[in-house]
A = this chain, B = another copy of it.
Amino acid sequence: MIQFQCDYNEGAHPLILQRLAETNMHQTVGYGEDEYCQNAKLAIKEAIKCPNADIHFLVGGTQANTTVIAALLRPYQGVISADSGHINVHETGAIEHAGHKVLALPNVDGKISAEQISLTLASHFAEDGPEHLVQPGMVYISFPTEIGTIYSRNELSEIYSVCKKYDIPLFIDGARLGYGLASPACDITLADLPNLCDVFYIGGTKVGALFGEAVVFTNNRFSTKHFRYHIKQQGGMLAKGRLLGLQFLTLFTDGLYLNIANHAINQAMRIRKAFENKGISFLVDSPTNQQFPILTNEQIEVLGKDFLFSTWQHIDEGHTAVRFCTSWGTLPESVDSLISAIEKL
């Protein structure tokens, strides 16, 4: 059974395992204050062209989201998100457990717009008695979104302008950041991000690492002086922080991060094309590593014999949208097999 159901089916890029083995008995201090972490931060600052960035390494996405949001909000504030946002639907209420409401706005293709956000903020502060309502205190978007779409430079700029106007932070969840940046449809680069938001994270778990997300505060609009306290309190301070540092150092040496993201996108485009060639339509036009073809029950049964993929959304009696993911670890020959099976449908 070949697995395409998610982008974390395998371990890690072999170079990462190799570096772990090479450095295994090297003694370091704990909690992310070792030289691997320091060097990884330097490498990332260089890659994003933001020498004053404040960078922290966390283990996973829900942890990164919760820690950043809990650190930046005051108790009476909530976070604006697409209703389809990860924090709104797939984190078992971690944000609410930290005390904050997710202020969900209806998404279009997984995205929310500057106009929606602006209306939400304007409407709150125009209230007679706003203190009876949760105050919108930050904006959360993901890049790419849960359904693989990406914001354009223009859309990001407009959203960020609204945030600056209301003096609230813009936070970009980059769990799949590499796959967004490597997309042919993407009109921004990694080095643009510091100018387009206050904080974002570079996803490692889904892009080549065993685990790990690099949270990047891009400026001083919002104090991050005590962020390490937040990490520890949220249970996210890894004793052997070096593991995170070493992985990100490897990913940000010789362009590995984007190289492997490119690989995933290439494989995803091959799959997409195979479905298109069969005249199969998609739930959404995703230019990234997740593809959502709408299949008949019969097609699902046939493909399901040899391949694992996710059921995504019921369409009608006879059709369901499913998800195929590629990743750094997708073998071209696995995609060959899948394409061949699609051709035979």
A interface residues (Cβ-Cβ under 8 A, vs B): 2-3, 5-6, 8-12, 14, 17, 20-21, 23-31, 59-63, 66-67, 70-71, 74-76, 78, 89-94, 96-102, 128-135, 205-206, 210-211, 226, 228-240, 242-243, 308, 311, 329, 331
What secondary structure prevails in chain A residues at the interface with B? loop
Closest B residue by C-beta to A134: B93
Q: Which single member of B2, B62, B129, B229 contacts A76 (CB below 8 Å)? A: B229
User: Could you name 26 residue pairs across A and B whose Cβ atoms are closer than 8 Å?
Assistant: A2-B27, A5-B29, A9-B28, A9-B29, A9-B30, A11-B20, A11-B242, A17-B24, A60-B237, A60-B239, A67-B235, A71-B75, A90-B132, A91-B132, A91-B235, A92-B131, A92-B133, A99-B99, A128-B311, A131-B229, A132-B237, A205-B240, A210-B240, A234-B235, A235-B235, A235-B236
A11 touches which of B24, B135, B308 (Cβ 8 Å) = B24
On whether A10 and B25 interact (CB within 8 A), knowing A93-B233, A132-B91, A132-B232, the answer reads yes
Q: Assembly of this chain: how many copies?
A: 4
Of chain B, the residue at the smallest CB distance from A6 is B30
- For A91, the chain B residues whose CB sits under 8 A away are 132, 232-233, 235
